[in-house]
Amino acid sequence: MARKRVRSVRLGAIKASKPGRPGRPPVHSETWSKVSVVLFDRQIVNLDRLAVDIRGKSGKVLNRAEIIRALIDGLLDSGMDITGSASEADLRARVARRLGSPYR
Protein backbone atom coordinates (compact mmCIF):
# COMPACT_ATOMS: atom_id res chain seq x y z
CA MET A 1 0.00 0.00 0.00
CA ALA A 2 1.45 3.36 -1.04
CA ARG A 3 1.61 6.14 1.51
CA LYS A 4 0.37 9.57 0.54
CA ARG A 5 2.65 12.50 1.04
CA VAL A 6 0.95 15.22 2.99
CA ARG A 7 2.20 18.73 2.61
CA SER A 8 2.53 20.44 5.97
CA VAL A 9 0.85 23.81 6.21
CA ARG A 10 0.89 26.25 9.08
CA LEU A 11 -2.49 26.05 10.75
CA GLY A 12 -2.43 29.74 11.60
CA ALA A 13 -2.07 30.66 7.95
CA ILE A 14 -5.11 28.60 7.02
CA LYS A 15 -7.27 30.13 9.72
CA ALA A 16 -6.22 33.67 8.91
CA SER A 17 -7.01 33.31 5.23
CA LYS A 18 -10.44 31.72 5.58
CA PRO A 19 -13.23 34.30 5.74
CA GLY A 20 -16.20 33.39 7.89
CA ARG A 21 -14.39 30.64 9.72
CA PRO A 22 -16.26 28.79 12.44
CA GLY A 23 -15.67 29.55 16.08
CA ARG A 24 -15.69 32.69 18.16
CA PRO A 25 -14.94 35.96 16.40
CA PRO A 26 -11.99 37.92 17.76
CA VAL A 27 -13.25 40.42 20.34
CA HIS A 28 -10.05 42.08 21.48
CA SER A 29 -8.87 45.14 19.59
CA GLU A 30 -5.66 45.52 21.58
CA THR A 31 -2.83 43.24 22.59
CA TRP A 32 -3.59 40.95 25.51
CA SER A 33 -2.08 38.32 27.75
CA LYS A 34 -3.73 35.36 29.38
CA VAL A 35 -3.14 35.32 33.13
CA SER A 36 -4.28 33.13 35.96
CA VAL A 37 -5.49 34.57 39.24
CA VAL A 38 -6.87 32.88 42.30
CA LEU A 39 -10.41 33.94 43.17
CA PHE A 40 -12.45 32.80 46.14
CA ASP A 41 -15.46 30.58 45.51
CA ARG A 42 -17.77 33.35 46.80
CA GLN A 43 -16.31 35.72 44.20
CA ILE A 44 -16.98 33.26 41.40
CA VAL A 45 -20.54 32.74 42.64
CA ASN A 46 -21.09 36.50 42.74
CA LEU A 47 -19.56 37.03 39.29
CA ASP A 48 -21.79 34.33 37.84
CA ARG A 49 -24.85 35.76 39.59
CA LEU A 50 -23.98 39.22 38.28
CA ALA A 51 -23.61 37.87 34.72
CA VAL A 52 -27.04 36.21 34.98
CA ASP A 53 -28.60 39.41 36.39
CA ILE A 54 -27.08 41.51 33.58
CA ARG A 55 -28.41 39.06 30.99
CA GLY A 56 -31.84 39.12 32.64
CA LYS A 57 -32.07 42.93 32.71
CA SER A 58 -30.42 43.88 29.43
CA GLY A 59 -30.45 40.70 27.36
CA LYS A 60 -26.71 41.18 26.83
CA VAL A 61 -24.19 38.49 27.72
CA LEU A 62 -21.13 39.44 29.76
CA ASN A 63 -18.79 36.72 30.93
CA ARG A 64 -16.56 36.70 34.01
CA ALA A 65 -13.50 37.95 32.17
CA GLU A 66 -15.40 40.89 30.67
CA ILE A 67 -16.78 41.88 34.07
CA ILE A 68 -13.34 41.64 35.71
CA ARG A 69 -11.68 43.66 32.92
CA ALA A 70 -14.40 46.33 33.17
CA LEU A 71 -13.96 46.59 36.94
CA ILE A 72 -10.19 46.92 36.62
CA ASP A 73 -10.43 49.53 33.86
CA GLY A 74 -13.11 51.42 35.81
CA LEU A 75 -10.83 51.59 38.84
CA LEU A 76 -7.83 52.65 36.76
CA ASP A 77 -9.87 55.25 34.82
CA SER A 78 -11.30 56.69 38.03
CA GLY A 79 -7.99 58.30 38.90
CA MET A 80 -8.34 57.05 42.46
CA ASP A 81 -4.98 57.00 44.20
CA ILE A 82 -4.60 53.50 45.61
CA THR A 83 -0.84 53.61 46.04
CA GLY A 84 -1.22 54.08 49.80
CA SER A 85 -3.05 50.79 50.21
CA ALA A 86 -1.29 48.60 52.76
CA SER A 87 -3.14 45.35 52.05
CA GLU A 88 -5.82 43.71 49.96
CA ALA A 89 -8.36 44.40 52.73
CA ASP A 90 -7.36 48.07 52.85
CA LEU A 91 -7.67 48.41 49.09
CA ARG A 92 -11.07 46.70 49.13
CA ALA A 93 -12.30 49.07 51.87
CA ARG A 94 -11.04 52.17 50.00
CA VAL A 95 -12.77 51.11 46.78
CA ALA A 96 -16.01 50.24 48.61
CA ARG A 97 -16.03 53.65 50.37
CA ARG A 98 -15.36 55.44 47.08
CA LEU A 99 -18.28 53.62 45.47
CA GLY A 100 -20.52 54.60 48.38
CA SER A 101 -20.82 51.16 49.90
CA PRO A 102 -19.86 50.70 53.54
CA TYR A 103 -17.19 48.07 53.89
CA ARG A 104 -18.42 44.94 55.66
Separation between Cα atoms, residue 30 and residue 91, nearest integer Å: 28
83 inside domain: yes
30 inside domain: no
79 inside domain: yes
Instruction: Give the pLDDT band of residue 22 (cuts 50, 70, 90).
Output: confident
Query: What is the model's pLDDT at position 28?
Result: 79
CB 95 within 8 A of CB 75: yes
13 inside domain: no
16 inside domain: no
* DSSP-assigned letters across all residues of 24-82: PPP--SS----------HHHHHHHHHHHHHHHHHHS----HHHHHHHHHHHHHHHT---
Range of the domain at 75: 37-97
Number of structural domains (the chain) is 1
Percent of the chain whose pLDDT exceeds 90:
64
Query: What is the model's pLDDT at position 101?
Result: 74
CA distances from 21 to 7, 47, 100 (A): 22, 31, 46
What average pLDDT does the structure give for the chain?
A: 83
Q: Of 3-7, 27-31, 74-78, give the range with the top mean pLDDT.
A: 74-78
With a cut of 70, say whether residue 2 has pLDDT above it: no
2 inside domain: no
